[in-house]
Amino acid sequence: DAGVIQSPRHEVTEMGQEVTLRCKPISGHDYLFWYRQTMMRGLELLIYFNNNVPIDDSGMPEDRFSAKMPNASFSTLKIQPSEPRDSAVYFCASSTGGGNQPQHFGDGTRLSIL
């Protein structure tokens, strides 16, 4: 079975550039989560969607970050403009049932902002 698919796996870009991370959740999952993982802060929830609608975006660090889910099989996390402190591994996860079913994670996008 296909799991959560993220692209690209690695992204290196210069500060000030726009970065777009992509996620395809597991088919049939109605919850989608975006996380950021760094050595300093561990795994942080940025935003999550239910049925393509953003439910809680309180973890989004600032207005430079935005996330969309135009349909049930695709989501994007965009950073514009990017800064070196945005360097991290970004994970997407999906689940059924939100808070009472396990989240299944993709293998992440390693983002480096120079």
Partner 1 sequence: GESVGLHLPTLSVQEGDNSIINCAYSNSASDYFIWYKQESGKGPQFIIDIRSNMDKRQGQRVTVLLNKTVKHLSLQIAATQPGDSAVYFCAEIAYNFNKFYFGSGTKLNVKP
For residue 63, give the amino acid letter.
D
5 binds partner 1, rule: CB under 8 A: no
User: Using an 8 Å Cβ cutoff, are 90 and 21 in contact?
Assistant: yes
- Choosing from 77, 93, 111, 113, the residue that interacts with partner 1 (CB under 8 A) is 93
User: Using an 8 Å Cβ cutoff, are 24 and 4 in contact?
Assistant: yes
53 binds partner 1, rule: CB under 8 A: no
25 binds partner 1, rule: CB under 8 A: no
* Cα–Cα dist 47/35, whole Å: 7
Contact residues for partner 1, defined by CB under 8 A: 4, 33, 35, 39-43, 45, 48, 55-56, 91, 93, 98-100, 102-108
